[in-house]
């Protein structure tokens, strides 16, 4: 019989703690070999996200925001520490996680409804159930009239609505979003932010959302993880308490403006440090 090591005991104790939270990143680090040396992209990142949180990650370029998201998705792996989702260590991609990227990742040869149904058909759901789920999400994203359209016939915002519906239709425990509105004009971005908050509240899902847009993060999030760079690490966690039912008018309130200013100051503190080292 193999004897338990101290590392085994530590992981078992951590698993008990993970059970109380939706997502835990524990001492996560990521290093890459460059020539004969190592480059540390992320170091000692500790993040806890509860069920139904809308967590945004912001930070300067190169701080590892997208790398963290890819590790949560199981598309990349930490060289240090561990990631837990629903009390399970992340070791690969899984159906419990859905991902929406900045680039439009719809299948161009499929119609809107076929794109939404793709994952459901892989699960071999009954046709009637697939159609009911498709109808629901087409109505939610207000694209029922476009169900037979192809991606090339849609605007950027419409494509992202379909991508979000496709992710939600599979009923994942966690939605991972990597700057999904970054390529949209401001008017469309505002509409997408409102739609996403509405869908999040309706679905009671947990979202991890990477963005470089501070206004977007404050508007969407229940909490924001502000990251520092070189190496990437969490500088501060900012809880956003500006109410659940948000309209665009909240962006003009004193509380919103103060939160935006505070997060900007956290980011500029980092930039000032970089400039001193130039």
Output the average pLDDT for the chain.
88
The answer as to whether 154 is a domain residue is: yes
The answer as to whether 209 is a domain residue is: no
pLDDT band at 278 (very low <50, low <70, confident <90, very high): very low
Q: What is residue 74's predicted lDDT score, i.e. its pLDDT?
A: 94
Q: What is residue 15's predicted lDDT score, i.e. its pLDDT?
A: 53
Tokens of 250: 């909240």
Instruction: Provide the residue range defining the domain that includes 152.
Output: 108-171
The answer as to whether 152 is a domain residue is: yes
Q: Which of 179, 144, 195, 220 is nearest to 61 (CA)?
A: 179
H helices of the chain, where?
6-18, 65-73, 112-122, 127-140, 156-169, 186-203, 214-220, 254-276
The answer as to whether 213 is a domain residue is: no
The answer as to whether 117 is a domain residue is: yes
The answer as to whether 123 is a domain residue is: yes
Mean pLDDT to the nearest integer, 82-109: 90
CA 127, chain centre distance (Å): 30
pLDDT band at 32 (very low <50, low <70, confident <90, very high): confident
Q: Is the confidence at residue 1, as pLDDT, over 50? A: no
231 cis-preceded (ω within 30 degrees of 0): yes
Tokens of 4: 């338990």
Q: What confidence tens digit (pLDDT) does each residue in 183-236 have?
A: 899 999 999 999 999 999 998 899 999 999 999 999 999 999 999 998 999 999
Tokens of 192: 């997408």
Q: What angle do CA 23, 25, 27 make, to 5 degrees?
A: 165
pTM beyond 0.95: the answer is no
DSSP letter string over 226-269? EEETTTBEEEEEEE--S-SS--GGGGGSHHHHHHHHHHHHHHHH
* Number of domains present in the structure of the chain: 1
Residues forming beta bridges with residue 189, ordered by sequence position: none
Q: What is residue 37's predicted lDDT score, i.e. its pLDDT?
A: 78
Per the CB < 8 A criterion, the answer to whether 219 and 225 are in contact is no
The answer as to whether 165 is a domain residue is: yes
The answer as to whether 82 is a domain residue is: no
Per the CB < 8 A criterion, the answer to whether 262 and 217 are in contact is no
């Amino acid at each position: 019989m193999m004897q338990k090591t101290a590392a085994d005991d530590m992981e078992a104790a951590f698993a008990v703690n993970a059970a109380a939270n939706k997502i835990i990143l524990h001492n996560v680090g990521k290093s890459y070999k460059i020539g004969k040396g190592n480059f540390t992209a992320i170091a000692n990142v500790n993040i806890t996200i509860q069920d139904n949180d809308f967590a945004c990650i912001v930070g300067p370029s190169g701080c590892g925001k997208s790398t963290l998201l890819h590790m949560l998705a199981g598309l990349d792996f930490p060289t240090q520490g561990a990631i837990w989702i629903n009390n399970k260590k992340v070791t690969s991609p899984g159906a419990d996680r859905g991902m929406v990227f900045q680039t439009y990742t719809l299948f161009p040869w499929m119609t809107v409804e076929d794109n939404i149904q793709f994952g459901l058909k892989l699960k071999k759901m009954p046709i009637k159930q697939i159609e009911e789920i498709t109808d629901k999400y087409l109505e939610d994203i207000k694209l029922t009239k476009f169900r037979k359209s192809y991606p090339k016939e849609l605007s950027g915002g419409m494509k992202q609505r379909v991508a979000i519906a496709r992710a939600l239709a599979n009923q994942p425990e966690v939605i991972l979003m990597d700057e999904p509105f970054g390529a949209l004009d401001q008017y469309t971005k505002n509409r997408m932010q409102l739609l996403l908050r509405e869908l999040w509240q309706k679905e009671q899902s947990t979202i991890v959302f990477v963005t470089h847009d501070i206004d977007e993060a404050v508007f969407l999030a229940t909490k924001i993880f502000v990251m520092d760079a070189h190496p990437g690490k969490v500088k501060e966690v900012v809880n956003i308490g500006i109410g659940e039912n948000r309209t665009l008018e909240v962006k003009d309130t004193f509380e919103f403006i103060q939160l935006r200013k505070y997060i900007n100051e956290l980011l500029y503190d980092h930039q000032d440090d970089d400039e001193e080292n130039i």
